[in-house]
Structure 1
Amino acid sequence: MTTPPVTANSLVDVIQYWADRKPDEEVLRFYPNGEGESVAYSYRAFDRRIKAIATQLEPYRGERTILLFHSGINFLEAFFACFYAGVVAVPAYPPRRNHNLDRLLNIMSDCEPAIILSSDTVLQQSQSLCQDAFTPAQQALPWINTDMIEDAAAANFNAPAPSAETLAFLQYTSGSTGTPKGVMLTHKNLMTNVKMAHQAYQLPANARCVSWLPLFHDMGLIGAVMTPMYWGAGSVLMPPAAFLQKPIRWLRLLSEYGQQSPVGCTAPNFSFQLCVDQISDADLADLDLSPWIFAMNGAEPIRQQTMQAFADKFAPCGFNANAFVPAFGMAESTLLSTCRQTGPIISKRVDAHQLTQGHFVEAPERQEDHDEANRDSVYVSCGQSCAGQTLLIVDPDTREIVHDRHVGELWLQGDHIAQGYWAQQALSEYAFHAYTLDGQGPFMRTGDLASTVDGELYITGRLKDLLIIRGKNHYPQDIELTAAKAHDAMHLDNVAAFTVEAEGEEQLVLVAEVLRSHRKDFDADAAALAISQAVAREHGIDTHAISFIRFASLPKTSSGKIQRYLVRERYQEGSLKSTGNWHKPSVPASALPAIPQTPMAQCSTADIELYMQQWLAAKLAISVDTVPTQASLDSLGLDSVDLVQLAGNLEQWLGQPMDNMVLWELPHIQAVATYLKETAETPVTTDDDEDIEGFI
């Protein structure tokens, strides 16, 4: 069997290596709908397509190019064409009706691209919106439609392969409205990390990756495409929306391709929980998950409870719990830093009080109803440091190295560590050039608090207040501002946002002071509804709970800064001076109305409106009467995952592909129902390669 190209300097070398040795073997297969029809590339055909696009980019060698594509095959064509042409790729989300527009404008301003690559669909949907928002200099940038480039152009390709030290792409870290940070990754960074992953995973050479992750995300792009590409295996892909609408689609592909070869995946914790919650027992009958030998769990806090629930539910389908591979990584370390070898998961129940003192000590046996037992937390090992990397736990204040069972900041060093943040020298110096008290360095500060026990890494929290929900970063200050503006009983500096573990994943909690002037007539339910709707609309996430407290009782420092960790601790203790509490109701999938049996084309617009009202009312645990047909869907307090699931039900009822973005773009329920009725009566084709951003 052919060995991987261990001397390759870049993914260009890797693709051409396999195109020479096994030209007709499949490297990529993409299912636009998550099932049914698919498109595929062999190594030879993919190499040819990349070269054709790269010929149009050669004049821009060394410059940055924005990639505006939905998550699909044409994004990968353009991305690797940048590598072939020596252009710095900058992936971005296509904006639709201002959705993602601010993020794109921030990235454009930061990286100053020379060109924009896109597709037919995105040009039609987004170009005029972009041009209206761009500066005059940005409006003058050329747009290249890669769909218009013929494969025959590959014959004109003659660019030299990039060197290992050349900048490959800028990975802009996720987040909400903060200043964008473009992580600078060289070809050496990428090749070092995929080789580290190959050595750590120890997978068979024919093991395929089956993924739903967005290809703009480092785990989707590097973990699900580049890494299996290095060892000569293939990737089977679907759009994120296809998974979120019907999680069973992902498992069916794992089952299907498992009949041909071993299969694996990389995914965040919430996706396994979604499978537990959304897949019915009736769907398990035809699944064979015994060939699923590798299930990496990362990108957000890893929950033992979720993995156990998943293993229990899918054990009858042959899933082996030892396939789970908890891991840790981040964009600044390319992707992977630590991972478990396959085998039993290692976890520890840690004494909550000791943890606040910086000690990672296992909790003593306690009665379940003991107050301290309720505060103790289970931490899952993220495995051991990958080969070729130096990992330290360091006191962030003194810069002294701390030892096993002590908590400090995680510092990393190795050839996979990024070069810094684009055009942010001071921040790069701080984050990527840290030295220990005894002069060891340079190291990259991760900003994560962690401890090691017998070489196993345990992530215990964040040094700063960044929130990670479903794999996406959110700045608490942004959410607090949204909440404060949502109701006049709130004040800007008197709201705290943090996360707690609930229902198998990290969930958002808000604690807000009520102004004295509103104390007598304050309606907690009305305020909670206004706040949760605003947070969902602005940030695309659910609010799990809101606690309203007395004015001037929010824990703060002497300088007036909110002590979010202390607020979280008191919230969990129940020691806040609460004046009212609200929790989002937990609604099982079985409580949602079934898709009507009558074809949509035979139903009236009113029938469609009623189904949507009933679904939304059930999801929000409110009366149907309180969901008017003039209500906009993004104002009801639903997060992006909820809306994608509703879109999936409507698409199934419609009986043909539906543009998911109509739920965001049309003004209210009545307009969506009218659109669906017209579509049902006059079938149309739609671009199925649609990515819904905001859930990860």
Structure 2
Amino acid sequence: MTIEQRFSGATALQPTPTTDALPRRMADFATLGEALDYAATGERGLNFHDARGQLSRPYSYAELREDALVAARRLIAAGVKPEDRIALIAETGPEFAHLFFAVVYAGAWPVPLPLPTSFGGKESYIEQLRVQLASCDPSMLIFPPELAHMAGEAARLVGTEGVDWSELATREAPDVPLPDASPDAIAYLQYSSGSTRFPHGVAITHRALLNNLAAHGYGMELVPEDRCISWLPWYHDMGLVGCFLSPIANQVSVDYLKTEDFARRPLAWLDLITRNDGNSISYSPTFGYDICARRMSSQTRASDRFDLSRWRIAGNGADMIRPDVMQAFVDAFADAGFKASAFLPSYGLAEATLAVTIMPPGEGIRVELVEETELSGHDGSANDNERPQRYRAIVNCGKPVRDMAVEIRNENGAPLPDRAIGKVWCSGPSVMVGYFRDPDATAACMRDNWLDTGDMGYMSDGYIYIVGRAKDMIIVNGKNHWPQDIEWAVEQLPGFKAGDIAAFAITTPGGEETPAVLVQCRSSDEAERARLHDTIRERVRAVTGMNCVIELIPPRTLPRTSSGKLSRTKARNLYLAGEIKPYELRAA
């Protein structure tokens, strides 16, 4: 059965083909518009699927370009000028796709903004949009009709024009000339998934973008039979750049699930991969693999439903990679043909457009066991030596992508030798111009064309190992502790899983710094909660040697970023503000 027959189901819809006669170019274009112009001469394109994974809308690159050019003329007729910012609610679908390129063709800068999340509700979402709109100062916010009330209110609060994209589609599109884009012009602004209170719009030029997209193509060693499958949101850099712009610039067909549909039916992602007769390329943060492994019933063989033998690249990025979770995924789906060698760890950030390092395809996940005191920078004092040695498995995140240089530096900015842990710095043509209208924030992380990523790691034989975010470090009595070590220790206890725990530093009423550990607890029994509290406290003390503040909180309380990552900073702020309310524990 061909992929066309498999996807068509009961409908007459046909997906765009995996292969066509158009010679592949690895993003060697001067501008993003040129990349779409070329892709549109072939037959590949984007394919949107419903919540059950059934094809609902094939959208060839030719059709995407045609719609984008018409919408670009509508925008120009509406007064949009080169370098205007046009904010777009990034719903996964043909409307956002062509509007993003319409803004590019019009010479303006698209600014993808998030959809609502389940955490925080209506007022929180309006406030998030308001803050990001105030930061990017757009001339227009374009949104799907179902979000008109919330997005329209956010636009009103900052005095910008709010436009329902279904209404925009009814406007006249006069035949006006489109501006010529320069490779060094800004292509778009990207807000990081956690940028809510103090947002930083990352400014990326066409030249930087195309350089990074070419690095994707070469790094993944693309072949004609490759097809991308994605559920990642388009308001996050891995979804926007890695799974929307990169396939266009490298001429790859894509199959999409909406992020909210993946959250409800995660195994539909694997159904799409199963239906692909070509090679599958699909990325996910660690939690995506985790939720799929957990959804597999112990009574069900994965091979009864899935065929994952053609999954060539199972990319992993956007958060700390958990080797135990990856192994659980292999255990759950090995009988369906999934190969551990398909895992492709990577490391990147929006400030570098996206990719900084990629594991060579086929090498899979490689880990090194590093002693905890080395990770935290302890000095080997007598107090340290009294504690048993504990190790953390650190995942190899690959080698620098084409044209990218990576250095590990100490606090003074001096390069460190192999296997010494320090700040990760990178430099290359795809590093951002800077943060939009924020020279101070730009100067704080840029030095002589090098970017301070804010991450900690070490290099070994040309590969990079990431150990954590510098800002997440918990410093108590002059000693450094990684929150992951505390969180992972609690996760080893029965009844807890990845994402249930957040650790961060607080100041006690006595003025001392101490770790606080928030743990989502599912038990409604007060005696059981008291027992779990004591067990967790002793577990953390055994691992860290510290007495910590342990708080049990209701399930689904810990906040996450728009890309699904745990937000320790937001959890800390909500806890200190009294908005996260722990269970009261009564004495026995």
Calculate the TM-score normalised by the size of structure 2: 0.77
- Give a deviation string over 1:419-470, Cα, whole Å, max 9, x none: 11111111101212x2xxxxxx321000111101111100112222289xxx
| Residues 282-361 of structure 1 mapped to structure 2, 5 A cutoff | 284-344=303-363, 345-357=365-377
Please give the root-mean-square deviation of Cα atoms over the aligned residues, in Å. 3.5
Match of 1:18 among 35, 39, 50: 39
CA distance in 1, matches of 2:243, 2:279: 15
Alpha-carbon spacing, 1:286–1:383, altered in 2? closer, same or farther (3 Å): same
Q: Does 1:392 align with 2:412?
A: no
* Amino acid paired to 2:372: A
Match of 1:171 among 190, 211, 214: 190
| Residues 507-586 of structure 1 mapped to structure 2, 5 A cutoff | 507-510=500-503, 571=541, 573=543, 575-577=545-547, 581=550
Q: Does 1:444 align with 2:451?
A: yes
| Residues 110-121 of structure 1 mapped to structure 2, 5 A cutoff | 110-121=135-146
Give the structure 2 partner of residue 51 of structure 1.
69
Alpha-carbon spacing, 1:298–1:264, altered in 2? closer, same or farther (3 Å): same
Alpha-carbon spacing, 1:267–1:6, altered in 2? closer, same or farther (3 Å): closer
Aligned residue for 2:187, secondary structure, equals: strand
Judge conservation of contact 1:205–1:232 (CA < 8 Å) in 2: no
Match of 1:268 among 275, 285, 300: 285
| Residues 122-137 of structure 1 mapped to structure 2, 5 A cutoff | 122-123=147-148, 125-130=149-154, 134-135=157-158
CA distance in 1, matches of 2:453, 2:534: 31
Higher strand share: 2
* Amino acid paired to 2:212: N
CA distance in 1, matches of 2:92, 2:376: 42
Match of 2:415 among 391, 401, 405: 401
* Amino acid paired to 1:14: A
What is the aligned-residue identity percentage?
A: 26
List runs of 5+ in structure 1 lacking aligned partners.
360-369, 435-440, 468-475, 477-495, 517-523, 534-544, 551-567, 585-619, 621-635, 642-696
Give the structure 2 partner of residue 377 of structure 1.
392
Alpha-carbon spacing, 1:286–1:404, altered in 2? closer, same or farther (3 Å): same
Aligned residue for 1:60, secondary structure, equals: coil
Judge conservation of contact 1:358–1:406 (CA < 8 Å) in 2: no
- Give a deviation string over 1:592-623, Cα, whole Å, max 9, x none: xxxxxxxxxxxxxxxxxxxxxxxxxxxx7xxx
Judge conservation of contact 1:448–1:461 (CA < 8 Å) in 2: yes
CA distance in 1, matches of 2:61, 2:361: 29
Alpha-carbon spacing, 1:197–1:582, altered in 2? closer, same or farther (3 Å): same
Alpha-carbon spacing, 1:162–1:286, altered in 2? closer, same or farther (3 Å): same
Judge conservation of contact 2:521–2:552 (CA < 8 Å) in 1: no
- Give a deviation string over 1:614-668, Cα, whole Å, max 9, x none: xxxxxx7xxxxxxxxxxxxxxx645689xxxxxxxxxxxxxxxxxxxxxxxxxxx
Match of 2:217 among 198, 207, 210: 198
Judge conservation of contact 1:211–1:224 (CA < 8 Å) in 2: yes
Match of 2:261 among 218, 222, 242: 242
Query: Which sits farther off after the overlay, 110-119 or 235-244?
Result: 110-119
List runs of 5+ in structure 2 lacking aligned partners.
1-20, 380-385, 476-480, 511-515, 525-531, 561-588
Alpha-carbon offset, residue 505 of structure 1: 3.9
Q: Does 1:102 align with 2:117?
A: no
Alpha-carbon offset, residue 202 of structure 1: 0.1
Match of 1:463 among 456, 470, 494: 470
* Greater Cα radius of gyration, structure 1 or 2: 1
Alpha-carbon offset, residue 338 of structure 1: 0.2
Alpha-carbon spacing, 1:358–1:431, altered in 2? closer, same or farther (3 Å): farther
Judge conservation of contact 1:54–1:157 (CA < 8 Å) in 2: no
Judge conservation of contact 2:302–2:336 (CA < 8 Å) in 1: no
Alpha-carbon offset, residue 315 of structure 1: 0.9
Alpha-carbon offset, residue 79 of structure 1: 1.2
Give the structure 2 partner of residue 690 of structure 1.
none
* Amino acid paired to 1:98: E
Alpha-carbon offset, residue 581 of structure 1: 4.8
Alpha-carbon offset, residue 203 of structure 1: 2.0
Give the structure 2 partner of residue 561 of structure 1.
none
Q: Does 1:65 align with 2:86?
A: yes
Match of 1:74 among 91, 95, 99: 95
Aligned residue for 2:123, secondary structure, equals: coil
- Give a deviation string over 1:554-582, Cα, whole Å, max 9, x none: xxxxxxxxxxxxxx99756253346x856
Judge conservation of contact 2:370–2:393 (CA < 8 Å) in 1: yes
Alpha-carbon spacing, 1:392–1:529, altered in 2? closer, same or farther (3 Å): closer
CA distance in 1, matches of 2:333, 2:266: 13
Alpha-carbon offset, residue 129 of structure 1: 3.3
Aligned residue for 1:38, secondary structure, equals: strand
CA distance in 2, matches of 1:265, 1:549: 36
* Amino acid paired to 1:389: M
- Give a deviation string over 1:453-494, Cα, whole Å, max 9, x none: 111100112222289xxxxxxxx9xxxxxxxxxxxxxxxxxx
Judge conservation of contact 1:65–1:87 (CA < 8 Å) in 2: yes
Alpha-carbon offset, residue 515 of structure 1: 6.9
Judge conservation of contact 1:172–1:183 (CA < 8 Å) in 2: yes
CA distance in 1, matches of 2:87, 2:136: 9
Q: Does 1:230 align with 2:238?
A: no
Alpha-carbon spacing, 1:57–1:278, altered in 2? closer, same or farther (3 Å): same
Alpha-carbon offset, residue 310 of structure 1: 0.9
Alpha-carbon offset, residue 85 of structure 1: 0.9
CA distance in 2, matches of 1:241, 1:114: 29
CA distance in 1, matches of 2:55, 2:112: 26
CA distance in 2, matches of 1:170, 1:207: 29
Alpha-carbon offset, residue 253 of structure 1: 0.5
Give the structure 1 partner of residue 583 of structure 2.
none
Alpha-carbon spacing, 1:461–1:5, altered in 2? closer, same or farther (3 Å): closer
CA distance in 2, matches of 1:400, 1:358: 20
Alpha-carbon offset, residue 165 of structure 1: 0.8
CA distance in 2, matches of 1:92, 1:574: 39
